Structure 1
Amino acid sequence: MRSLPVFDDLRAFLGWAEAAGDLARLSAPVDLRHEMTAVQLATLRAGGPVLRFDAARRDGQRAGMPVIANLFGTPARVAAGLGLAPGEVPGFGEFLAALRNPPPVEGMRDALSKWPMLRAALQTRPKVLRRGVAQERAAPADMSLIPAQIPWPGDAGPLLTWPVVVTRPHGSEARQTGRYNLGIYRAQVLSPDRLILRWLAHRGGAAHHRTWARASEPMPVAIALGADPATLLAAALPLPETVSEMAFSGVLRGARAELAPATTVPLLVPANAEIILEGWVHPGEVAPEGPFGDHTGYYNAVEPFPVMRLSAITHRRDPIYLTTVTGRPPDEPSVIGEVFNTLALPMIRAQIPEVTDLWLPPAACSYRMAVVQIDKRYPGQARRVMMALWGMLAQFSYTKTIIVVDRDIDPRNWDDIAWAMATRMDAARDVMLLDGTPMDYLDFASPHEGLAGKMGIDATTKIGAETVRDWGQVMALDPAHVARAESLLRGVLP
């Protein structure tokens, strides 16, 4: 199932990328304020390599550590972070779907054939070390040591953009890693020893925070900077609430996660990260966060979010800092979303079997529009699929527009989609509008924060009671004539 080696830490992944000629070291000075963003985006949009900035600068001074960017700037590197070649991603998606809903075992031979699934389950149990390499050195609780970017001209200040935020609910114990949440929540540097954690209300970190706030107790928090690829991708995946990202990273990695006790808070932290930030979030302590440029291509409004007071920073002997930048696609999150789209398809098909393909256009912020290909068999089926996606699968609750097409339409080809809409869709009959549905409050087009309309477009061939007219016949040439034409024109056409 896996063709690439296990990447125990970020350095192993960077070594693999460099050996493949997919890492570039930049020795020229690059400013962390805005300039690094321009270099990252230009590289990503050219399909370029991982970047290592060896002379990052802030306020004219050289940063105390190298900066890594564009880590997952191509779909191939996202797949590699999962230990896979690009062509193996669909198969891994099938495996993950089976792992979530395993088929019944029929006899010993069948049990042995499912050994990879059993092995993956065993790999979800983390291994606890006494001390990790992320704790080789202790540093003052001073964020000026961290070369955080100021990505966009309108940003409020330095921002941690690839933090893996580790939390657990009140009433749990540090050893109960199955109850942990790992989330990628951006963190604004407020002062040398304070960060603002921007977790939205529906995310796991916010849910844990509410349990500590109800108990009127400070909440322990740890942030891993420069975690291994499996931990980064597990924290970014939209997993069900009942699945621990910490545990799931073992499935992605192909080896058990290694954790170590934090030094000042009751949490276990990724032992092989580059840097660990430790601290507490006290009940009721918030600060205005932002504005910051977001994946929508707009700046977010300023809003209050919880403050984390740092109690310790630990790091490797020679740490490196991992960063990214978000903005109007294409950006790194949209590239990751392309691969996650492929991974999620088998799980979607397990819930809605008539779905044969699905595309989340990266330009539509990776989730606000979906084009769904179905195997249509009965009238009204396209509408049923729309409602199933919106109602059954939480990851589609913020999808504003769903376009449903037939199997003869490529859902990733805008020309095909436009033709289907122009010839198979009637605006009065085939457009379904909903009002007052959940929506990402970052969507400025919504009339109310968190509530908006949705649109479903049925661009499928109409059958049965869907139409009273005879439907047209699609024109097609004899395949033998097409093959003959290709043979005659080989070497003639470019």
Structure 2
Amino acid sequence: MAFLFTNITDSKGRKYDIPVLVCGIAGNRAIYSVGMQCPIDGIPDKWTKAMAKPIPPRIVKNAPCHEIIYKGADLRRGHGLDDLPIPISSPGWDNAPYTSASHFITKDPETGIQNMGNYRGQIKAPDRLGMNTSVELRTGGYQHWEKWKALGKPMPCAVVIGCPPLVSFTSVQKMAESYDELHVTGGLIGEPLNVVKAKTVDLLVPAESEIVIEGFVAGTPSSLHG
């Protein structure tokens, strides 16, 4: 079962014009199979084939995710992270709103291979987002952060919220660091995924994303989970 909320009001009475979907991507096996575009019993084989034959993405010049762009001072004038209807996922426990279905895209500064992982993001300010890269699991995003930190440079990062289901599925799939999740997504689709160059960082992002947050992750622990 999935839930779609369209009349969003926060505890302060502020209304949002962006709906919130809960359990809409993989709330159960039946929903997951719809997103995978195959019967439930065919899902394992589809993943095996996609990882065996990933397909590089197709770079496009124009993309839906670039139709509306806010940056700079606009982020502190009502068009920043606080403009997103992000619920408190763990009331009484979390110290701030956290994005939960947020796909963080980073790049290995040595190999140039991108990584996409689903991490929680702590809303710290209208223009500041923390990143929980699951340090204990040694995720690709965390390993990239360590490499950028060793170079003395902030890590370029793009966060995707709202995208085609197959992109979301690859963001949470465990795979070797040699894989680029966007290539594996192409393997699942059976053709190249449309991607576009981010506006402010040297990364490729899914062109059909609803929201893309771009920025840099500083080489300090405070830039990670709050």
Larger of the two Rg values belongs to structure: 1
Please name the residue that 1:183 is paired with: 117
Q: Which amino acid aligns with 1:254?
A: G
Residue 219 of structure 2 aligns to a residue in which SS?
A: strand
Q: Give the alignment partner of residue 271 of structure 1, picking from 201, 207, 211.
A: 207
The 8 Å contact of residues 164 and 185 in structure 1, kept in 2 or not, is answered as yes
Q: Unaligned stretches of 5+ in structure 1? A: 1-47, 101-120, 291-494
Give the one of 164, 169, 182 matched to 2:108.
169
8 Å contact kept, 2:131–2:223: no
Which whole-Å CA distance do the structure 1 matches of 2:207 and 2:223 have between them? 30
2:187 is matched by which residue type in structure 1? V
**Cα pair distance change 1:244/1:230, threshold 3 Å:** same
Kept in 1: contact 2:49–2:187 (CA 8 A)? no
Letter in 2 for 1:126: P
Aligned partner of 1:65 in structure 2 is: 18
Residues 231-259 of structure 1, C-alpha deviation per residue, up to 9 Å, x if partnerless?
A: 10011111122222111011122331111
2:165 maps to a residue whose letter is P
1:203–1:288 distance in 2 versus 1, CA, 3 Å: closer
What secondary structure sits across from 1:197 in the alignment? coil
1:56 paired with 2:4, answer no
The question of whether the paired residues in 1 share the 8 Å contact of 2:46 and 2:188 is answered with no
Distance 2:143 2:178 in 1: 13
For the residues of structure 1 that align with 2:170 and 2:44, how far apart are their CA atoms? 17
Q: TM-score, normalised by structure 1?
A: 0.41
Instruction: Give aligned pairs, total.
Output: 214
Q: What residue is the counterpart of 2:56 in the other structure?
A: 125
Q: Distance in 2 between matches of 1:94 and 1:288?
A: 33
**Cα distance between partner residues in 1 of 2:47 and 2:63:** 31
Call closer, same or farther: CA 1:247–1:263 in 2, change over 3 Å: same
- Asked which structure has the greater RCO (Cα within 8 Å, sep 6+), the reply is 2
Partner of 1:358: none
Q: How does 1:30-109 map to 2 (within 5 A)?
A: 48=1, 50-58=2-10, 59-71=12-24, 72-92=26-46, 95=49, 100=52
SS of the aligned residue for 2:69 comes to: strand
Change (3 A) 1:169 1:193: same
Q: Could you tell me which of 89, 95, 101 is aligned with 1:151?
A: 89
* Distance across 1 between alignment mates of 2:167 and 2:193: 8
> Which residue of structure 2 aligns with residue 134 of structure 1?
65
SS of 2:191 mapped into structure 1 = coil
* Distance in 1 (alpha carbons) for counterparts of 2:96 and 2:160: 20
Separation in structure 2 between the aligned mates of residue 241 and residue 219 of structure 1, nearest angstrom: 17
2: CA distance between counterparts of 1:287 and 1:259? 27
Cα displacement string for residues 467-487 of structure 1 (whole angstroms, at most 9, x for unaligned residues): xxxxxxxxxxxxxxxxxxxxx
Q: How far did 1:163 drift?
A: 0.5
CA separation of 1:212/1:277 partners in 2, compared to 1, >3 Å: closer, same or farther?
same
RMSD of Structure 2 on Structure 1 (CA): 1.9
Identity of counterpart residues, as a percentage?
A: 26
| Deviation of 1:214 (Å) | 0.6
Letter in 2 for 1:159: Y
Shift of 1:51: 2.1
Alpha-carbon offset, residue 221 of structure 1:
0.3
Find the residue that maps to 2:134 and give its secondary structure.
coil
Q: For residues 433-475 of structure 1, give each alpha carbon's deviation from its aligned partner in whole angstroms, at most 9, with x where no partner exists.
A: xxxxxxxxxxxxxxxxxxxxxxxxxxxxxxxxxxxxxxxxxxx
Moved more, 235-244 or 157-166: 235-244
Match of 1:196 among 110, 121, 130: 130
1:91 positional shift: 4.0
CA distance, structure 2, for counterparts of residue 205 and residue 87 of structure 1: 31
CA contact (8 A) 2:149 2:219 kept: yes
Partner of 1:217: 153
Q: Which runs of 5+ in 2 are unaligned?
A: none
Per the TM alignment, residue 280 of structure 1 is displaced from its structure 2 partner at its CA by 0.6
